[in-house]
Chain A
C-alpha cells in the first residue's frame, strides 16, 4: 500500500462481507484498500468456518433442489425472529439472495450439493465446495487479481469521523501505527463476540464460561468506535447466535467440529443432574441455535447430553470422544454428577416414555407423559449400555448488536440521518435483520448482499 495515497474506498475486515465489498467496489472502478487484522494464515474471520448460504429460488438452480420462494423464506424468517426485524431490509436481502450464488461463482467460489447428512438443507442452502476457507481463498484470489490492495496483520484502532464524514483511519501493524486516508469507508469487521469483557458487561460473569466458536479477531473495536462517534445502534448486546457445543472445545476458533448433534436423541441434564428443556421440541437443525442460551441459563453454564448405545452412529460424529460407562451411576461418577440424582432423572424419564414407533427422520411424536419438562418427540428409553455423555457449554457464533444501516448499506447516525460516506456489511450490521433467532445460512447471505451493496454504493459515492 501507499501511505500517501488517498484511497477511494477503505474496507475494514477480511471476511466474506469485507471481500464482497472490496471486489464490488473495485469492479465499479474504485481504488480499494483492505485492512485485515488477522495475519494471512488466519484471514477470513468467521467466514473461514462456514459451509453454506441460504438462497431463495423459484426453480431448481445449480446445486439447489426444488424451489424456495420469497414468501416461504420470509415465513421461516418470521418464525425465528418473531418479527424482530427491519422488514424492508430483510425482504430486500431475501429477494437479492436469488442472485447471490451466480455472483459468487463469478468471483471464483465453487459450490457442491449439500453435505452428506444434511440433505434437509439441499433445498434452501447452497454449500461451498471445501467450506468457508475455500470460499475466502477464492475471494482473496479474485480481489488480488482485480488490483485490490490487501494488508494483513493490520488492526484499525481509530477512526476520524466529523459530522458523519469519515476521513482517515489509524491502524497498527507490526507494532507501528499508520494513518490511511480514504474517501469512503466500509466497516465489515464482524461482531464483538471475541471481546470477553464486553460480553461480560452484557451477560455478567456467566460469559466467563462462553466459548467463542470462530475468529478471535472480532473484538468489536470498530463497532465501538462507530458507536462512540455517533452511529445509531440496533439490537440488544445479549442477542447472538449461540449453540451448545462440546465443553472441551478450545476457547476460540474451534469451528464446526465442536458441535454435538445428539441432543434430540437423548436427554440433557444440568450440573444438578436435572433436565431443563424439551430435547425433542423440533428437528435439531431448527433447534440447535436455542441451546446455547439454554445452557447459558443453567448453573455454571454447563450441560450434559446423555444417550445410550441405540443412538450411537446416528448423528454427526463429534470430534471429542464421548464419556462412556456401563451404568448410569458410573457415568455420573465420570461426569462428577450426583450418581443417585442422575439415576433418578434417567429412571423418571424412562418411566415416562410412551410406546411409539421411533423415527428420527420425522417428528415421530414418541413422547413422555406426565414429565416436566416433557420430551415431545424421539423419546426413547435410555437403557441400553454402554451409556455415553458429551459435556456442553454455550458456544457463541456471533453477536447481533450492530450499527443501523439503510438500503444502501449506509450507516445511520443517531439523528436518524445517513452518514456521508460510511457503509457497513456483515455481522456488524446483522442486527438490522436479525433481532433475535437464526436461520441456518443467513449470516453469509447478509454479508454477501450488504457487502456487494456497500462496495457498489461506496464506489458510486466516490465517483459522484
Chain B
C-alpha cells in the first residue's frame, strides 16, 4: 500500500465532528441518502466516513440549509469536508497503489498523459504506414480510416489499455467494498442491486426534493442533473457505438468504418438501403453520444465556474476540469474526424482524437471518472443497509 493508504487523521477527526453534529440535528435527512445512512450509526470511524463521503453527490443543499455553516462558530461545511474525504479515498483505493499520487495535480497529469498518448499514436502511425499515409488526402471513404492506422494496431493498443483499466476499476471497487464493510457485512441481494443501479442511472439523489439541488448556487435547480445525464448517457452511447462497431467488424465481418447514414435511409423510405442503415448504427450512436458529450461536459464546466467557492475543494479543480475537458475534446475531435475524413487533415485530426481518447482512458482510473465506481458502490451499500440496519436514536 502506498503512504496514502489512510485518510489523514485530521480529516477523519473533522469528519467525525461534523457527523456528530449532523446526527444530533438531522434536519437535512430529506435531501439525500447520506443523512439516513448516518442515522444508522452512532459513531463514525474512517471506514464509515469513506462510505458516507462517496454517497454524497456534492449537491450542496445541506450547506445552504445549515444553521451551523460558517461563519457560525461550529464552522460546519458538510459538503466540502466530504469532498475532501472523497479525494483521499480515491487515492486510498487506487490500483496500483503507486499511482495514487496521480490524484495530486491531476489536471497536469491528465494533460501530460494525453500529450504523451498523441505522441505514441503518431509514432504507431508513422511506424505502420509511413509519413505518406499520414499526410495523404484519403478519397476512398471506406479505406481512409484504417489507412492511417491499421485496425489491428488500434485494437491491440486499446484492448490492452481496456483490460488494464477494467482491472484497476475492479480492484478499486473491491477495496472500497472491503474498507466500508463494517462488522455486520450483510450480503448483497438482487433487490438491493437493482435499487442501487436505478439510483445511479436516474441520479435519484441529485434532485433534492423534486425541484432540484442547490447547485451551482442556493436556488434549487435541475440544471446539473441534466448536464450530468447528458455526459453520462453521451459517454454510454459512445461506448455502445464502439462496442457495436467491434461486433460488426469481428462477428459480422463488416470491415472498414461505418457509413454515414443518408437522409433517405434515416427516414426509412421504401427502397432505401436498410442494410446501410444498420451498418451505420455505430455512427448514429456515436453522434448522439457525441452531442451529449459536447453539451454535458461544457455545461458542467460552466456550472463549476459559477459555484460558491466556499464549497469547493480547490485541490480537485484540475481533476474535475481535466476529465470534462477531455470528454469534450474527445467528442469534438470525433466529429471533426468524420467531417474531415476525405481531406489532408484527417491524419493530424486522427492523431489528436486517438491521443485524447487514449489519454482519457489511461487517466480514467486515476481521475474524476472513479467517482462513478465508488458512488455506485456506496449506493449499493446504502441499498443493502436500508433493509438490514435500523435508524438509531429517537426522542
Q: Which residues of A contact B (CB under 8 A)?
A: 41-42, 48-49, 51, 110, 112-113, 115-120, 127-134, 137, 141, 250, 253, 255-257, 259, 261, 284-285, 288, 312-319, 321
Contacts and interface: CB of A to CB of B under 8 A. Distances in A.
A256 B36 contact: no
Interface string B3-33: 0000000000000000011011111111100
B71 interface: yes
A129 B394 contact: no
24 contacts: A41-B71, A42-B72, A112-B30, A116-B391, A117-B391, A118-B395, A129-B209, A130-B28, A130-B30, A130-B31, A132-B27, A134-B64, A256-B25, A256-B27, A257-B24, A257-B25, A284-B395, A313-B42, A313-B392, A313-B393, A315-B395, A316-B393, A317-B42, A319-B20
Interface string B360-395: 000000000000000000000000000000011111
B65 A137 contact: yes
B39 interface: yes
B45 to A, nearest CB: 15
A316 B394 contact: yes
Contacts of A319: 20-21, 24
B67 interface: yes
B27 A51 contact: yes
Query: Would you list the 9 A-B pairs with minimal beta carbon distance, nearest first?
Result: A131-B27, A130-B65, A117-B394, A112-B30, A134-B65, A257-B24, A319-B24, A116-B391, A316-B393
A319 B44 CA distance: 13
Contacts of B349: none
Nearest to A261: B395
A131 B25 contact: yes
B30 A118 contact: no
A255 B67 contact: yes
Contacts of A315: 393-395
A440 B72 CA distance: 25
A250 B54 CA distance: 32
A314 B393 contact: yes
B293 interface: no
B66 interface: yes
B42 A129 contact: no
Contacts of A318: 24
B67 A115 contact: no
Contact of B65 (A127, A133, A321): A133
Contact of B26 (A116, A128, A284): A116
Contacts of A41: 71-72
A118 B209 CA distance: 20
Contacts of A259: 24
Contacts of A257: 21, 24-25, 68
A116 B20 contact: no
A49 B72 CA distance: 12
Interface in B46-85: 61-62, 64-68, 71-73
Given A49-B67, A133-B64, 7 more contacts: A41-B72, A112-B30, A120-B395, A257-B68, A313-B393, A315-B395, A316-B24
A116 B394 CA distance: 7
Contacts of A141: 218-219
B20 A132 contact: no
B67 A133 contact: yes
A256 B29 CA distance: 15
Given A137-B218, A256-B25, A117 B20 contact: no
A284 B62 CA distance: 28
Given A112-B209, A129-B209, A137-B218, A285 B395 contact: yes
A130 B67 contact: no
A317 B23 CA distance: 7
Contacts of A120: 395
Contacts of A321: 20
A130 B393 contact: no
Among B28, B65, B395, which residue has the most Cβ atoms of chain A within 10 A? B395
Interface in B137-192: none
B64 A256 contact: no
A133 B67 CA distance: 6
Contacts of B393: 117, 261, 313-317
B20 A317 contact: yes
A253 B68 CA distance: 9
Given A112-B209, A116-B36, A117-B39, A131 B65 contact: yes
Q: Tell which of A115, A137, A256, A285 has the most Cβ of chain B within 10 Å.
A: A115
A353 B179 CA distance: 45
A217 to B, nearest CB: 13
Contacts of B36: 116
Contacts of B30: 112-113, 127, 129-130
Contacts of A253: 72-73
Nearest to B20: A319
Given A51-B27, A110-B209, A130-B31, A119 B394 contact: yes
Nearest to B27: A131
A444 to B, nearest CB: 14
A413 B67 CA distance: 37
A313 B27 CA distance: 19
A51 B26 CA distance: 10
Chain A CB count within 10 A is highest, among B23, B25, B29, B67, for: B67
A318 B395 CA distance: 11
A116 B39 contact: yes
Contacts of B71: 41
A280 B395 CA distance: 14
B307 to A, nearest CB: 17
Nearest to B211: A110
Contacts of A312: 42
Contact of A256 (B24, B65, B219): B24
Contacts of B39: 116-117
A48 B381 CA distance: 33
A261 B72 CA distance: 24
Nearest to A41: B71
Most-contacted residue by chain A among B23, B26, B73 (CB, 10 A): B26
A130 to B, nearest CB: 3
Contacts of A42: 72
Contacts of B64: 130, 133-134, 137
A301 B89 CA distance: 46
Contacts of B62: 130
B342 to A, nearest CB: 55
Nearest to A360: B394
A51 B42 CA distance: 21
Contacts of B392: 313, 317
Among A115, A134, A259, A314, which residue has the most Cβ atoms of chain B within 10 A?
A134
A115 B31 CA distance: 12
